Structure formats: C-alpha cells, structure tokens
Amino acid sequence: MRAARVLLRPVGFAGFGLLTLVLLAAAFAPVLWGGRAAAVDTGNLLAGPSAEHWIGTDNLGRDLFARVLVAARLSIVLAVAATAISLVLGILLGAAPMLLGRRLGRLVTSAVNVLVAFPGLLLVLFFAVVFGVGARGAALAVGVAGAPAFARLCHTLMAAVSERDYVAAARIAGVSRIRVLLRHVLPNVAEPLIVNATMAAGGVLLTFAGLSFLGLGVQAPSYDWGKLMQDGLNGIYVHPLAALGPGIAVVLAGLAFNLTGEAFAAAFGLGDQPGRAHSMEEPREPVAATPAVPRTVLSVEGLRVTIPGPAGPIRAVRGVTFAVSEGEAVGVVGESGSGKSLTALAVAGLIEPPVRVEAGHLVVAGEDLMAAGAHRRLGTSLAIVFQDPMTSFNPAHRVGPQLAEVSRFHQRMGRKAALARAVDRLRAVRIREPERRARQYPFEFSGGMRQRAMIGMGLMGDPRLIVADEPTTALDVTVQRQVLELLAEVRRDTGAALLLISHDVSVVTDVCDRVLVMYAGLVVEELPSKDLRTLARHPYTRALVAAVPDMDTDLSRPLAVIPGLPADPVHVPAGCAFAPRCPLADDHCRAVAPALVAGVACHKSTEVPV
C-alpha cells in the first residue's frame, strides 16, 4: 500500500521512472555499448553532432553518447559507495553516545559538531589530498566528508528514540547495548535516514562530478561524467554538447535521486498534507436552522462534527443538543473518543476545515456561530481554558502583553490601558505580585499559575460563558483544587456560565449543577450532578461511575469494569452505540438508536434498578 502511495504521486512516478532508467543504464550500458564507447575512429576526431554520433566524438573519435551511457556505471557506483561510507560512519558516530557511555560519547558528539561547522567542500578537498588522487581516494574523501552531517542526524534521531520507555524497558530486561541499537533504535530511525541518504546520493553525484572535473577524481583511462565534462570543456565553444551531454546526465541522475527521496519522505509522512488523500464520502445533509432556546448563554441543536479520515469520515459528534442558562455550570463527562472535547471546541468556534461542523443552531452569547463573521464578536463574551497550560501561551511573548492583546484587539484599548487591565486581571486570579509576573515569560510560571493566567486572559473581556476543556487534568490534586476554586469564584463574581469538560466524574460533580454524559458522539444522559452517583439511569453512566475508585470504594470486591472496547467512530453501530458493551441490550437496542427522552437515551432505562 505504501509503495503504491509512493508511485501514485507525480513526484514518485517521475523519481522512480528516472531512477530506473539511470540504474538500467548503469547495469547494462557497459555491456551493450562498451565496445562502441571504446572504438577509436581517427577519421572523425572531435566531430560535432551527427546522425551517427548524436553528441559528437572526443579527441580519439570515440562516440560521446555511448561514453556518457557507459560512464553511468562508474558514476553511480562511486556515488552510492560514498553515500554508503557516509551513512555507516554517520550511524557509528551518531550511536557513540549510546554505545560508549556518557563521557566518551559526549567527546565524539562534540567532535562531530566541530566537523559539521566546516564547509563540506573544504572537507572533501582535504580528504581528497589525504587519500590521494583517483576513484578510490575520491570515494573515501567524499564518504568521510559526508559522515559528520549523517552523524549529527543519527545522533538527534537516536536521542529521541532512546528516551522512549521501550528502550528503557529493554535495558532493564538486560538487552545489551548493541542489541538495543540494532533491534529498537535503528529500525525506528530508518525511515528518515533512508530518505536523507537517497537525497544525499544526488548531492554526492554532483560532488564527484566536481572532483573529477577538477582532476582530483577519476583518472584516465577510466571515466565518469565529471571526467567527460572536463574533457569536453576544452571545446565548449565549438562543440558545446560534448560538455553539456555528461552535464545533463548528472542533472538527470541527481534529479532521480532527489525526487525519489522526496517521494519517500512524502510516503513516510515527513511532508504529508493532512486530509488531502482522505475523502468525505458522505454528502452534506442539509440541516434546518432552528431558533435558539431563549434566556440561554449557550444553545446548541443537532451539533455534528465530522473529521475526514483515511477509512472514511470519522463522525466524532453525531447530533448533540443542549443549552446552558445564564450563570449555570454544566459538566460534560465521557471517555476519550466520546466527542466531548470536539463539542467544546465547536462551541468555542475553534474548529477549522477540513473538519466539518454542522448544527441547527449554535448560539453563544447571542451570536450564531453558524453565521459568518460571528467568531470575531465572541472575543470578549467567551473565555476558554485548555488542558495543557504549557501550550496555551505563546512561549516567546511575556504573559502581560499576551493578556493585553485581547483588549487591544477586541476592545480597541491603548497599549498602556490594556496592560494595566492585564495586571489587574492577573491580580483577580490571585497571582501574587502581578506587576512583576506580567513581565515574565510563560515558562517562568508553574502549571497551576499558567492555568490561572489563562483564566485571567478569559477575564480580559466580560465573559458570559467560560469553556474549560479538561482544565485540571495536567495538574496535581492540590493545584487542581485551587484552579477549581478559582473557577467557582470567577463565576460568583462575574455571573458567567461554565461548560466544564472532564473525564473525571468527581471533578464534574464537585463543580457543576448539571452533567451531560457523552458516549460515541452523543449525549446519552443528562441529569443534576448531585444525582450522578445515585440516580443515574443509563447503564453507561452507572458503569462509568462504578469503574472509578474513590475513597469509599469497597476494597473486598473487584472494581466494576465495562467489557469490550469503545465504539469505533468510523463504523458506529446502527442501534444504540453502547449496546455491544451493555448487559441489558437486546435486539431492539442493536437495531434502533434510542433518542434522548426525559434526560436519558436508553430503551432499557426503566428496567435499570435504581
């Protein structure tokens, strides 16, 4: 499948086509045209192009076209040999820190770093002098000179892989360093290495041509493309094709290697464009626009989020309807893949094509996000807190100006006034010494403090809704509590509503008035959070609550588990998505999807013992 992906691209097709031609020439040209290339014709010295000699003859009357074809073998063999030398030396040097231990490895790495700083050509010339003139010397010189670049690459790639836990696990299991290198590290860095080696081969080819052209490479009577160019240069004004012919061969072979490398890179995903090869097979179903529920800060009807995927569209959210009243706190719980985070992102207007958002309406603070241009007006009435406090700030800017930007953009405040408000807001989220902190960079903040600053950023405007997507998942319990308290306090002070997304049932019951439970892109149950542990009617909700140990869990019994795997969002079953894992499911459940009626989407909700 991967090979097909390489070949089907224009770049891959051209690259492989050219490379095949070049390799065929290298393999068979000396056999087929070796005699013709060596045949001396004294009556036809330095002749121009003719029907018999397409690009003319050389100073002994030998046919240059045949010589260019025959020279392919030596040129390619030398280029591949030199690349192989670079690659092997590079891998050895790059693996040194793994094989030799920390201190010796560091020495090797520093040496490589110094060598990388030298211009490549200088190294080639230096080594060419060291190893002596001739094909072998040139191959060694080019190979050794290319090694530092590969060593650097290998070192970086291997360092990333050897941080992985499976390498640590192999070491703990007593696997020797060499075996770890061969079994775990090399296979996992092979793809980028192959891509780079293929591309480097093209460059090496050119370097060789250059060396031979300078007279440092291949010596007569052997000849490669560089040597042919050198020979043809004397008559370049009389017979330009004599020099250009081998030149064109170098260009074509170089292109063949580079395009093949590009095609590999694209196929291995190094330069892949997401979504291009993926299709949205389903036609867009028209959604009838519906009016928003009155007196709500958030009203959503029939929200669907669809992501294009290689195996068909992923229906991550499949029709979610809910509303949040002014000042209300609503929690959304569910496991990964339930669509809870995408629901939050859609509410925040943060989903971009190719991911598709459809809804009857999606009204946030009076703005229908399904209408054009609504996002801009949301800037001050919506606040967002994300899970990872490290990535929600731009690491290159100070915290204060990042907060101030909100007011400068949305409220057209001046720089000074905006910064003053930023400091005031940082104080409001209980960050000590806000003036000093505003001048600091995000990395100088702890995780909890960054989350506070993020909430502060939401408070730069006058938020009527705060969307918090797993705001405390990356934090310790003690810090989590502070952030949750801050959210509660902000709600009390500003009267803002809260939409809290979490996988943690206990966090949601602590903070929210009402809970939506999501499974496979649908809301399966909606109930007051105080009833979540005791009065849940949907079997999934009950299983979810029972699966989480708390400080009162019965230690003598095994924890409740939900058998089976979560529904695959590409192939959602026709009936109830939870039916395959549900102990109560019958044929009706598997055939007909239950609607959300009176707060629960389950055919069996009346049978569940409460």
Partner 1 sequence: MSTLSFHDVRVRYGSHTVLDDVSLEVTDGQTVGLVGESGCGKSTLARAAVGLAPLTGGQILLDGRPVPNRGRRPVQMVFQDPYSSLDPRMTVGESLAEAMPERLGRTARQAEIARLLALVHLDAARAADLPGRLSGGQRQRVALARALAARPQVILADEITSALDVSVQGAVLNLIRDMRRDLGLSMLFISHNLAVVRYVADHVAVLHNGRIVEFGPTAQVLGAPRHDYTRHLLAALPGAVPLKEQT
Q: Which of 558, 597, 598, 606 binds partner 1 (CB under 8 A)?
A: 558
| DSSP letters for 299-356 | EEEEEEEEE-BTTS-EEEEEEEEEEEETT-EEEEE--TTSSHHHHHHHHTT---TTSE
Q: How many CB atoms lie within 10 A of CB 174?
A: 7
- Contact 83/254 with Cβ under 8 angstroms? no
- Contact 298/325 with Cβ under 8 angstroms? no
HEC profile for 441-455? CHHHCCHHHHHHHHH
562 sits near partner 1 (criterion: CB under 8 A) = yes
477 sits near partner 1 (criterion: CB under 8 A) = yes
| Shortest distance, position 563 Cβ to partner 1, whole Å | 9
Cα–Cα dist 166/438, whole Å: 41
Cβ distance to partner 1 smaller for residue 62 or 340: 340
| Shortest distance, position 533 Cβ to partner 1, whole Å | 9
Cα–Cα dist 321/118, whole Å: 63
The residue written with tokens 């996988």 in the block is 503
Binding span for partner 1 by CB under 8 A among 105-113, 386-394, 433-441, 560-568: 560-568
- Subset of 322-381 contacting partner 1 (CB under 8 A): 335-336
Cα–Cα dist 100/92, whole Å: 11
Indicate the length of the chain as a whole number. 610
- Subset of 482-521 contacting partner 1 (CB under 8 A): 484-485, 488-489, 492, 503-507, 509-511
Cβ distance to partner 1 smaller for residue 3 or 190: 190
Binding span for partner 1 by CB under 8 A among 120-128, 151-159, 180-188, 201-209: 180-188
| DSSP letters for 199-233 | HHHHHHHHHHHHHHHHTSS--TTS--HHHHHHHHH
The residue written with tokens 């979540």 in the block is 532
| Shortest distance, position 156 Cβ to partner 1, whole Å | 18
Cβ distance to partner 1 smaller for residue 5 or 430: 430
- Contact 259/14 with Cβ under 8 angstroms? yes
Cβ distance to partner 1 smaller for residue 87 or 505: 505
Binding span for partner 1 by CB under 8 A among 207-215, 382-390, 452-460, 541-549: 541-549
Q: Which of 31, 130, 233, 547 binds partner 1 (CB under 8 A)?
A: 547
556 sits near partner 1 (criterion: CB under 8 A) = no
Pairing of strands 329-333, 361-364: unpaired
Cβ distance to partner 1 smaller for residue 292 or 475: 475
549 sits near partner 1 (criterion: CB under 8 A) = yes
| Shortest distance, position 165 Cβ to partner 1, whole Å | 4
Binding span for partner 1 by CB under 8 A among 13-21, 313-321, 375-383, 551-559: 551-559
Q: Which of 1, 42, 43, 165 binds partner 1 (CB under 8 A)?
A: 165
169 sits near partner 1 (criterion: CB under 8 A) = yes
Cα–Cα dist 515/534, whole Å: 13
| Shortest distance, position 413 Cβ to partner 1, whole Å | 29
- Contact 579/524 with Cβ under 8 angstroms? no
Q: Which of 10, 43, 119, 174 binds partner 1 (CB under 8 A)?
A: 174
Cα–Cα dist 531/514, whole Å: 9
166 sits near partner 1 (criterion: CB under 8 A) = yes
182 sits near partner 1 (criterion: CB under 8 A) = no
Cα–Cα dist 397/407, whole Å: 16
Q: Which of 1, 4, 51, 172 binds partner 1 (CB under 8 A)?
A: 172
92 sits near partner 1 (criterion: CB under 8 A) = no
559 sits near partner 1 (criterion: CB under 8 A) = yes
Binding span for partner 1 by CB under 8 A among 29-37, 165-173, 223-231, 246-254: 165-173
- Subset of 405-444 contacting partner 1 (CB under 8 A): 430
Q: Which of 9, 375, 481, 590 binds partner 1 (CB under 8 A)?
A: 481
| Shortest distance, position 279 Cβ to partner 1, whole Å | 23
- Contact 147/197 with Cβ under 8 angstroms? no
Cβ distance to partner 1 smaller for residue 31 or 104: 104
Residue 525 C-alpha from the chain's centroid: 35
- Contact 260/202 with Cβ under 8 angstroms? no
Cα–Cα dist 176/179, whole Å: 5
| Shortest distance, position 341 Cβ to partner 1, whole Å | 13
Q: Which of 311, 561, 597, 598 binds partner 1 (CB under 8 A)?
A: 561
**Residue 65 CB contacts under 8 Å (≥ 6 apart), including other chains:** 53, 54, 55, 245
C-alpha dist (Å) from residue 339 to 28, 171, 312, 315: 59, 39, 17, 9
Cα–Cα dist 52/143, whole Å: 39
Cα–Cα dist 394/8, whole Å: 39
Cα–Cα dist 330/313, whole Å: 29
| Shortest distance, position 310 Cβ to partner 1, whole Å | 14
Cβ distance to partner 1 smaller for residue 185 or 259: 185
Q: Which of 281, 285, 352, 550 binds partner 1 (CB under 8 A)?
A: 550
Q: Which of 98, 170, 241, 243 binds partner 1 (CB under 8 A)?
A: 170
| Shortest distance, position 485 Cβ to partner 1, whole Å | 6
Q: How many CB atoms lie within 10 A of CB 390?
A: 14
Cα–Cα nearest to 358, from 385, 407, 320: 320
118 sits near partner 1 (criterion: CB under 8 A) = no
Q: How many CB atoms lie within 10 A of CB 1?
A: 5
| Shortest distance, position 143 Cβ to partner 1, whole Å | 28
Cβ distance to partner 1 smaller for residue 272 or 282: 272
Cβ-count burial 359-385 (b if 16+ within 10 Å, e if not): bbbbbbbebbbbeeebeeebebbbbbb
Q: What is the DSSP secondary structure assignment for residue 600, as one 8-state letter? A: B
Number of residues forming the site for partner 1 (CB under 8 A): 53
Residue 175, SS3 per DSSP: coil
| Shortest distance, position 103 Cβ to partner 1, whole Å | 13
273 sits near partner 1 (criterion: CB under 8 A) = no
570 sits near partner 1 (criterion: CB under 8 A) = no
Binding-site ranges for partner 1 (CB under 8 A): 164-166, 168-175, 183-184, 187-188, 335-336, 430, 476-481, 484-485, 488-489, 492, 503-507, 509-511, 543-544, 547-551, 553, 555, 558-562, 565-566
